[in-house]
């Protein structure tokens, strides 16, 4: 009898035994300098905290199977068939300083699937272990930031703001060591792609124009197909990317969102909000609001976001110059024209949304001043941004809406005066009924946002007591942010003084 082959067999930790995904991994087919292949590290005791079943279904995944094996798959312990796990290379400006090599230090792209709408989506594990880009990091994520990203990214989706999505959260059963010892977790993120402004910078910084071109072609093919046949697709790409960011950042301002770390590596070329680290929603209106503990100088304050968007896009433009025109001077001129139009683009999106927030369907010259004067009163009288606009929705009629609106201001006199001017403007608006206007306003002025204190309460219960009920409740309320949901009225309320959260942390 021949010798048995048994002695040559090895146990493969990441054995592929399941096929719940139909992967088509286009990024893995790009040139090798784009990424490093890397399998996730094993974790001790994976437990599925949450599976986003509607999203899983939208992605064409086997939900039944994921209920059973989701803990193993979304922790990185079990690699699904067809996955081609890799860490992406990128660079980036962090708080204005350029770092030529960042890359996925704790994120691993499992692969891409085509969803039910025919859109290509990345599935990425965040906190799945070290990669060649980890530097001194442990490659891991703590439970708190994972829950925060889950809550906020799903809230953004429900609010109608382009954002990466949350597919799953898994606890690892392993500690992570930060300032204190925390429970570890892995977050599964779904994105139109994970390509960042910093990805372009990675190649440009190395003088690798072929790399920039390959990336730009890939991005056009994946995110900006309509530009493919343009005479100069690269300047068109730049223009379209600026347009998407202008629209996105305007949406952030409309809902009081503060990203917190708008480094160029945290700006997705797809136009989705990405990287929910120390992000937070503003309660009391103040354009200078900053929550992030590491943003000492307020670089990424609420009202600075449009300008920082332009700064980041200027860095993107620099990477595209050799593609835009062989004549360097001409390339700069073309790119400058585009970046100089960004301010106007932003202003158009912002004012359009603000008009909707105050219930205007028509356009008049004085509308900007009307909006600005409301914001000025809100700031002076410390009104809650979300609540004031929500209550304004009901203030055009004769009910108790006006009193409720006025009660969000410390001193109501200036707000009352503003209401008179607003009512006068409404007489010249289209002929909608009060009810119709109120309904339209409620559809853009959310009742529910992921308020910091609520997130913090949900995280504390989960981390301290393994109690996920507040996390679940918050997700349920935030899934319908524009509905009244009277049973959850308490979730509309701003924090009490003792509940106020003054700082948020990136959690890396
Ligand atoms: P972020 O602040 O999350 O945008 O991350 C900035 C950079 O640090 C990226 O290159 C991340 O991959 C990396 N990074 C963040 N946290 C960790 C970690 N725990 N281990 C390794 N790399 C990390
Ligand atoms: Mg990042």
Q: What are the structural domain ranges in the chain?
A: 5-194, 207-354, 358-508
The Å distance, Cα 275 to ligand 2 centre, comes to 5
The pLDDT of 52-66, averaged and rounded, is: 96
**Per-residue confidence (pLDDT) for residue 508, from 0 to 100:** 73
- Tens digits of residue pLDDT in 190-232: 999 999 999 999 999 999 999 999 999 999 999 999 999 999 9
Q: At what angle do helices 305-324 and 209-223 cross, to 10 degrees?
A: 120
State the ligand closest to the CA atom of 196.
2
Q: How far apart are CA 15 and CA 323, in angstroms?
A: 43
- Tens digits of residue pLDDT in 467-484: 999 999 999 999 999 999
As a whole number, the mean pLDDT across the chain is 95
For 190, 332, 449, 475, the CA distances from 478, given in Å and listed in that order, are: 19, 44, 7, 5
**Per-residue confidence (pLDDT) for residue 387, from 0 to 100:** 98
Q: Closest ligand 1 atom, CA of 107?
A: 12
| Residue 278 DSSP label | S
Radius of gyration (C-alpha) of the chain in whole angstroms: 24
Q: pLDDT at residue 1 above 70?
A: no
The pLDDT of 322-340, averaged and rounded, is: 98
Q: How far apart are CA 306 and CA 284, in angstroms?
A: 20
The Å distance, Cα 355 to ligand 1 centre, comes to 39
How big, in percent rounded to 5, are the helix, strand and coil portions of the chain?
Answer: 45, 15, 40
The Å distance, Cα 366 to ligand 1 centre, comes to 46
- Tens digits of residue pLDDT in 113-153: 999 999 999 999 999 999 999 999 999 999 999 999 999 99
Query: Catalytic pick from 265, 283, 384, 394?
Result: 265
Q: pLDDT at residue 450 above 60?
A: yes
Please tell me the residue having the least CA distance from ligand 1 atom 21: 137
Extract the runs of DSSP E, i.e. beta strands, from 17-128. 35-37, 47-51, 86-88, 92-94, 97-99, 107-114, 120-126
| DSSP per-residue codes, 314-368 | HHHHHHHHHHH-SSHHHHHHHHHHHHHHHHHHHHHHHHHHHHHHTT--S--TTHH
Q: Is 102 in the pocket of ligand 1 (CB under 6 A)?
A: yes
Ion ligand 2 contact residues with beta carbon within 5 A: 266, 275
- Tens digits of residue pLDDT in 422-449: 999 999 999 899 999 999 999 999 999 9
Q: Closest ligand 1 atom, CA of 90?
A: 10
Q: How far apart are CA 127 and CA 162, in angstroms?
A: 23
Q: pLDDT at residue 12 above 60?
A: no
Provide the Cα torsion 315, 320, 324, 327; round to 10°. 80
Q: What are the structure tokens assigned to 485, written together?
A: 């949901």
Concerning whether 265 is annotated as a catalytic residue, the answer is yes
| DSSP per-residue codes, 110-178 | EEEEE-TTS-EEEEEEESB---TT-TT--SBEEHHHHHHHHHHHHHHHHHT--B-EEEEEEEEEEEEES
- Residue 168's φ and ψ, nearest 5 degrees, are -160, 155
Q: Of 106, 91, 102, which is closest to residue 137 (Cα–Cα)?
A: 106
413 is in an annotated binding site: no
| DSSP per-residue codes, 166-224 | EEEEEEEEEEEESSSEEEEEEEEEEES---BHHHHHHHHHTT-HHHHHHHHHHHHHHH-
For 101, 257, 308, 317, 356, the CA distances from 360, given in Å and listed in that order, are: 47, 22, 29, 36, 6
24-38, 195-209, 450-464, 494-508: segment of lowest average pLDDT: 494-508
The Å distance, Cα 266 to ligand 2 centre, comes to 5
State the ligand closest to the CA atom of 91.
1
**Per-residue confidence (pLDDT) for residue 18, from 0 to 100:** 54
- Tens digits of residue pLDDT in 81-104: 999 999 999 999 999 999 999 999
- Residue 23's φ and ψ, nearest 5 degrees, are -80, 150
Contacts of 470 (CB under 8 A, 6+ apart): 454, 457, 458, 461, 462
**Per-residue confidence (pLDDT) for residue 86, from 0 to 100:** 98
24 is in an annotated binding site: no
Q: What are the structure tokens assigned to 407, written together?
A: 């009660």
Q: Is 49 in the pocket of ligand 1 (CB under 6 A)?
A: no
266 is in an annotated binding site: yes
- Tens digits of residue pLDDT in 386-410: 999 999 999 987 678 899 999 999 9
- Tens digits of residue pLDDT in 304-317: 999 999 999 999 99
Report which secondary-structure segment, H or E, holds 393. Answer: none
Q: Closest ligand 1 atom, CA of 138?
A: 20
Which residue out of 35, 87, 197, 508 has the highest number of ligand 1 atoms within 8 Å of its CB and is therefore the one to mutate?
A: 508
Please tell me the residue having the least CA distance from ligand 1 atom 12: 105
Q: How far apart are CA 62 and CA 71, in angstroms?
A: 14
343 is in an annotated binding site: no
**Per-residue confidence (pLDDT) for residue 506, from 0 to 100:** 77
How does residue 13 score in pLDDT terms, banded at 50, 70 and 90?
A: low
Q: Is 104 in the pocket of ligand 1 (CB under 6 A)?
A: yes
State the ligand closest to the CA atom of 508.
1
Q: Closest ligand 1 atom, CA of 176?
A: 19
Q: Of 100, 102, 99, which is closest to residue 89 (Cα–Cα)?
A: 102
Other CB atoms within 10 Å distance of the CB of residue 81 = 12
Which residue out of 105, 185, 194, 294 has the highest number of ligand 1 atoms within 8 Å of its CB and is therefore the one to mutate?
A: 105
Whole-number percent of the chain with pLDDT over 70: 96
Q: Is 277 in the pocket of ligand 1 (CB under 6 A)?
A: yes
State the ligand closest to the CA atom of 41.
1
Q: Is 355 in the pocket of ligand 1 (CB under 6 A)?
A: no
196 is in an annotated binding site: yes
Please tell me the residue having the least CA distance from ligand 1 atom 22: 105
């Amino acid at each position: 009898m021949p010798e048995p082959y048994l002695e040559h067999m090895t146990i493969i930790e990441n054995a592929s035994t399941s096929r719940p995904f139909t992967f088509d991994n286009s990024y893995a087919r790009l040139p090798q300098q784009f990424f490093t292949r890397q399998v996730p590290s094993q974790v001790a005791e994976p437990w599925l905290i949450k599976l986003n079943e509607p999203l899983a279904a939208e992605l064409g995944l086997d939900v039944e199977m994921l209920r059973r094996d989701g803990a193993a798959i979304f922790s990185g312990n079990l690699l699904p068939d067809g996955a081609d796990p890799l860490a992406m290379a990128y660079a980036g400006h962090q708080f204005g300083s350029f770092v030529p090599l960042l890359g996925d230090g704790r994120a691993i792209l499992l692969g891409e699937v085509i969803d039910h709408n025919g859109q290509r989506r990345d599935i990425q594990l965040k906190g799945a272990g070290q990669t060649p880009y980890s530097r001194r990091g442990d490659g891991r994520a703590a439970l708190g930031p994972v829950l925060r990203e889950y809550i906020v990214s799903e809230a953004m989706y429900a609010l109608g703001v382009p954002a990466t999505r949350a597919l799953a959260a898994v606890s690892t059963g392993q500690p992570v060591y930060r300032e204190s010892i925390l429970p570890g977790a892995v977050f599964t993120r779904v994105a139109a792609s994970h390509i960042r402004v910093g990805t372009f910078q990675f190649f440009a910084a190395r003088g690798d124009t072929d790399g920039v071109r390959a990336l730009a072609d890939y991005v056009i093919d994946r995110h900006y197909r309509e530009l493919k046949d343009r005479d100069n697709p690269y300047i068109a790409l730049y223009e379209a990317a600026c347009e998407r960011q202008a629209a996105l950042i305007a949406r952030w301002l409309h809902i009081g969102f503060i990203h917190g770390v708008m480094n160029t590596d945290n700006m997705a070329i797809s136009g989705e909000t990405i990287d929910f680290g120390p992000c937070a929603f503003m309660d009391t209106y103040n354009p200078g609001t900053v929550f992030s503990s590491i943003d000492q100088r307020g670089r990424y304050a609420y009202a600075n976001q449009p300008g920082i968007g332009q700064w980041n896009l200027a860095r993107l433009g620099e990477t595209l110059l050799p593609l835009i025109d062989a004549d360097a001077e001409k390339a700069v001129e073309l790119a400058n024209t585009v970046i100089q139009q960004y301010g106007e683009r932003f202003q158009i999106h912002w004012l359009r949304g603000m008009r909707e927030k105050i219930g205007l369907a028509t356009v008049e010259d004085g509308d900007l001043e009307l909006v600005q004067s409301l914001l000025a009163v809100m700031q002076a009288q410390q009104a809650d941004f979300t609540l004031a606009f929500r209550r304004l929705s009901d203030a055009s009629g004769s009910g108790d809406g006006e009193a409720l609106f006025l009660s969000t201001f410390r001193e109501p006199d200036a707000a009352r005066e503003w209401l008179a001017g607003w009512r006068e403007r409404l007489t010249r608006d289209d002929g909608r009924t009060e009810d119709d206007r109120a309904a339209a306003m409620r559809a853009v002025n959310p009742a529910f946002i992921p308020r910091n204190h609520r997130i913090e309460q949900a995280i504390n219960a989960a981390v301290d007591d393994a109690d996920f009920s507040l996390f679940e409740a918050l997700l349920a309320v935030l899934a319908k942010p524009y509905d009244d949901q009277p049973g959850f009225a308490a979730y509309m309320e701003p924090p009490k003084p003792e509940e106020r959260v003054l700082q948020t942390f990136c959690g890396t």
